[in-house]
């Protein structure tokens, strides 16, 4: 039996790998570590991998920008699922090290940023040494090549390398949630669950004032809410913007389909990046006037009017 192949931002031990393990546990999938997000997505486009797992929001490693930009350019890819992980680190060191001995601490620069206040309070005066990845700093400690005394590492990796965990649950925010998505090629649309997201990239018509508001009215006129919106400057057109958005609903639902029809008519570019179950699993409330039944009844009524049957 051939296992599905998953590309991800490696090496083993990253938070992305932790997300991957939630989505496709070892034994059920082949894991392919990649050096960066574009490589992971490129592997799906080329067929080298079946899926990729990458961070898309609030990342402490890899690049959200890289994810959004790489999705938006080139052969179509779609999001098939998501997980949201609470990100916290372990302070790990060689056995025998005490926390008061830590004069230099290392992690990926995103990880150092993420833990900045904790470091200031718990390791005052410690020198921060950026590493090329969150896992790499721990590896360097383990193999003796480190020029620092401790590392902030994703949970589990320190123990697996024979290091000592001095502190666990290190994070500046009580809940620093990072969102990861599973990406694949179009053709496989997850079934609607009632608790779904639809991710889109939209370019606005440039010659129209109030264009953003008019774009959002396409959603509100059908009772569709957004859970995320981000403007991104367009590299190819200075002064113009594209918008990356998550709508609460599935394209198989009439209200989302109608909103997309409205966008497609009125915006020069609309990219569909997938409809998939939301990790939180809370069913999206749907008003009586935006149910599929309501759309079907109203559509039948207008069809009757057109035939003179009303």
User: Which residues 30-59 are close enough to bind a copy of itself by CB under 8 A?
Assistant: 35-38, 57-58
Our finding on whether 292 is near a copy of itself (CB under 8 A) is no
Q: Which of residues 169-188 bind a copy of itself (CB under 8 A)?
A: 173-177, 179, 186-188
**Residue 290 CB, nearest approach to a copy of itself (Å):** 7
User: Considering only 21-29, 95-103, 153-161, 299-307, which stretch makes contact with a copy of itself by CB under 8 A?
Assistant: 299-307
Choose, by CB under 8 A, the member of 99, 103, 221, 283 that binds a copy of itself.
Answer: 221
Our finding on whether 75 is near a copy of itself (CB under 8 A) is no
Distance CA 116, CA 113 (A): 5
| The token pair that represents 93 in the structure block | 């060191």
> Residue-wise over 230-255: b if at least 16 C-beta within 10 A, else e?
eeeeeeeeeeebbbbbbbbbbbebbb
Closer to a copy of itself at the Cβ: 155 or 190? 190
- Residue 58: phi, psi to the nearest 5? 60, 40
Our finding on whether 210 is near a copy of itself (CB under 8 A) is yes
Rounded to 10 degrees, what is the CA torsion of 261, 264, 267, 270?
A: 120
**How many residues does this entry show for the chain?**
310
Query: Residue 167 burial by CB count (10 A; 0-12/13-18/19+): exposed, middle or buried?
Result: middle
Q: Which of residues 91-130 bind a copy of itself (CB under 8 A)?
A: 109-110, 112-113, 116, 128-130
Q: Which of residues 243-272 bind a copy of itself (CB under 8 A)?
A: 243, 251-252, 257-258, 260-262, 264-266, 272
Distance CA 110, CA 16 (A): 14
Our finding on whether 207 is near a copy of itself (CB under 8 A) is no
Residues that bind a copy of itself (rule: CB under 8 A) add up to a total of: 86
> Is there a contact between 276 and 188 (Cβ–Cβ < 8 Å)?
no
Our finding on whether 2 is near a copy of itself (CB under 8 A) is no
> Is there a contact between 266 and 218 (Cβ–Cβ < 8 Å)?
yes
Q: Return left, alpha or beta for 242; rule: phi > 0 is left, psi -120 to 50 is alpha, else beta.
A: beta
Closer to a copy of itself at the Cβ: 27 or 145? 145
**Residue 121 CB, nearest approach to a copy of itself (Å):** 14
């Amino acid at each position: 039996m051939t296992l599905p192949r998953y590309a991800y931002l490696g090496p083993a031990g990253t938070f992305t790998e932790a997300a991957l393990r939630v989505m496709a546990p070892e034994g059920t999938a082949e894991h392919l570590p990649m050096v960066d997000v574009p490589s992971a997505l490129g592997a799906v486009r080329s067929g080298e991998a079946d899926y990729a797992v990458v961070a898309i929001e609030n990342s402490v490693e890899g690049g959200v920008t890289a994810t959004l930009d790489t999705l938006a350019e080139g052969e179509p890819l779609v999001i098939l699922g998501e997980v949201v992980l609470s990100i916290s680190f372990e302070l790990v060191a060689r056995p025998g090290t005490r926390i008061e001995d830590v004069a230099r601490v290392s992690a990926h620069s995103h990880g150092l940023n993420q833990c900045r206040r904790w470091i200031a309070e718990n390791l005052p005066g410690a020198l921060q040494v950026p590493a090329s990845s969150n896992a790499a700093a721990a590896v360097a400690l383990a193999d003796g090549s480190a020029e620092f005394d401790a590392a902030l590492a994703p949970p589990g990796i320190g123990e697996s390398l024979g290091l000592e965990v001095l502190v666990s649950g290190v994070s500046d925010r009580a809940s620093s949630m990072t969102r990861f998505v599973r990406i694949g090629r179009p053709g496989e649309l997850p079934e609607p669950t009632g608790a779904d997201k639809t991710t889109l990239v939209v370019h606005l018509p440039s010659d129209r004032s109030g264009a953003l508001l008019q774009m959002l009215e396409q959603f509100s006129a059908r009772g569709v809410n957004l859970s995320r919106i981000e403007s991104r400057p367009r590299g190819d057109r200075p002064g113009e913007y594209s918008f990356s958005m998550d709508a609460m609903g599935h394209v198989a639902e009439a209200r989302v389909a109608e909103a997309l029809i409205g966008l497609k008519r009125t915006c020069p570019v609309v990219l569909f990046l997938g409809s998939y179950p939301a990790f939180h699993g809370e069913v999206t409330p749907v008003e009586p006037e935006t149910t599929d039944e309501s759309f079907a009844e109203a559509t039948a009524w207008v069809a009757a009017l057109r035939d003179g049957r009303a």
